[in-house]
Structure 1
């Protein structure tokens, strides 16, 4: 029930306050709160599976109003790999962007006979981001994200942004050799492609008649609401063809999405030159400072 209070009540309170306080008493010094110390939390669970866990690195002096989050997603062909593979990236980002929180995530790996990758791994990212968002006051973070993915992790990051990020929490994606177009002849003409597609995709989670290769291809899911993106591909990658980068570049251009498409001499990233790796780091750093700036 709404309480109705007579205006004279407020007037009398005002008179008492003015008469009872001197001007010195009204000028109190603000209390300086001690900044939060840096904190690392390992293997934080975000689901029922032991693989649904992430490490979070919280910076000193963080606040829920300013501390944005870098989310790292490892590769491994959707069937292997671990967040430990991104440890060097965590260390690098802690040095170059010490005021950002960093989350390094694991997801449930695909395995025979009944653990497909898609859409489960996309939904794992959603579950982790939802948990971080719900705990923003406890963690003292601002739930705006820059996603940095490698190989399969880049594919997952792109798909999350293009399809699942309905509230625009992702502000950019860095795609390092991520598969982006499974309708590419490079994949379709592989005799094992259909078998792999059947293994990786839970068809029951998609409407009947869905072209599954298109449904899990980021280049086919780009829209005007997609986030800015960095694309990094090799000229002779035996796993992800340069044509995948070109397809994604074209789709982003057609939808007027800000992006940078970088092509380096070499294969799947492990043989790129020191100069190219430095260029990659510099471009990611620029995107962090542009799209995930600390206010």
Structure 2
């Protein structure tokens, strides 16, 4: 079946979700069809935007996950960066998603990693092929991307993780200076989901779950970041190296949010392209 027919079929299925449809041109006449504000669950935060290329070159899907300290932020914060990625990867499908936010009366986990699974379940019911996923997040979204890939992706459908300023070890002394660390200690992980003798902070730390089967990981940390210090990169790299997981890490000149500014954004996108090309070449048939 031709790609054009496949995409038409996808759009017909999505028409029943009540979302809005339009065409997007992120640049260089690379046309995507947008399905915005799709509901993938029953709650108001469970919404996403889906970008389908007119001509699909492969079966890779970027899932973009925003930051905001687990209890704030919106997917709209990453719309511009998503469009920049669409320019570089015109044959990929893109999802920019919200998730259920935490509060003093609602834990972040397991809701937020469950929501990544809900997005994947939605896509697999909608797309006429079995995709490979690239999880890309910033800050809390990067933490969730890593945690889902290392802890919950039991079928190994995640091809790669792109970690932008994400906390990897919540117990690391450098992260304990985070101004909202008390919220992390009390409201990140629901203690009811812990079955073994694991501390809350270890359970919520992506680095704790890394093993030899973990997804290849590309990381970026800011040299002036006082929220998630670059020391997190050393902890993450050490664990990935110890388990012989393919990984690369880079620093950029800036604070926690300046990765979106030029020249940093272009630097990140170029490294993402090279990393994904590298792991595709080295993947065992």
Inter-CA distance 156–292: structure 2 relative to 1 (3 Å threshold): farther
Offset of 1:192 from its aligned partner? Answer: 6.5
Query: Which residue does the alignment assign to 2:56?
Result: 62
Equivalent-residue separation in structure 2 for 1:51 and 1:273 (angstroms): 27
**Count of residues paired in the alignment:** 257
Equivalent-residue separation in structure 2 for 1:217 and 1:91 (angstroms): 30
Larger radius of gyration: 1
Query: Which residue does the alignment assign to 1:47?
Result: 41
Inter-CA distance 33–241: structure 2 relative to 1 (3 Å threshold): closer
Query: Which residue does the alignment assign to 2:161?
Result: 173
Offset of 1:102 from its aligned partner? Answer: 0.4
Query: Which residue does the alignment assign to 2:110?
Result: 119
Inter-CA distance 236–124: structure 2 relative to 1 (3 Å threshold): same
Offset of 1:118 from its aligned partner? Answer: 1.2
Inter-CA distance 154–235: structure 2 relative to 1 (3 Å threshold): same
Structure 2 residue 119 is matched with structure 1 residue 131? no
* Structure 1 unmatched ranges of 5 or more: 1-30
Inter-CA distance 33–219: structure 2 relative to 1 (3 Å threshold): closer
1:140-162 CA-partner distances (Å, limit 9, x unpaired): x5421111111110000000100
Structure 2 residue 218 is matched with structure 1 residue 253? no
Q: Within 5 A, what are the aligned runs for 1:1-295? A: 35=5, 36=7, 38-62=32-56, 66-113=58-105, 115-137=106-128, 141-188=129-176, 193-207=181-195, 209-270=197-258, 274-291=262-279
Equivalent-residue separation in structure 2 for 1:235 and 1:99 (angstroms): 33
Query: What secondary structure is seen at the aligned counterpart in 2 of 1:251?
Result: helix
Q: What is the root-mean-square deviation in Å for CA atoms of aligned residues?
A: 2.4
Equivalent-residue separation in structure 2 for 1:126 and 1:246 (angstroms): 28
Offset of 1:243 from its aligned partner? Answer: 1.1
TM-score by length of structure 2 reads 0.82
Equivalent-residue separation in structure 1 for 2:220 and 2:173 (angstroms): 20
Inter-CA distance 33–43: structure 2 relative to 1 (3 Å threshold): closer
Inter-CA distance 95–254: structure 2 relative to 1 (3 Å threshold): same
Offset of 1:62 from its aligned partner? Answer: 3.2
TM-score by length of structure 1 reads 0.80
Kindly indicate whether the alpha-carbon contact (under 8 Å) linking 1:69 and 1:142 is maintained by their aligned counterparts in 2.
no
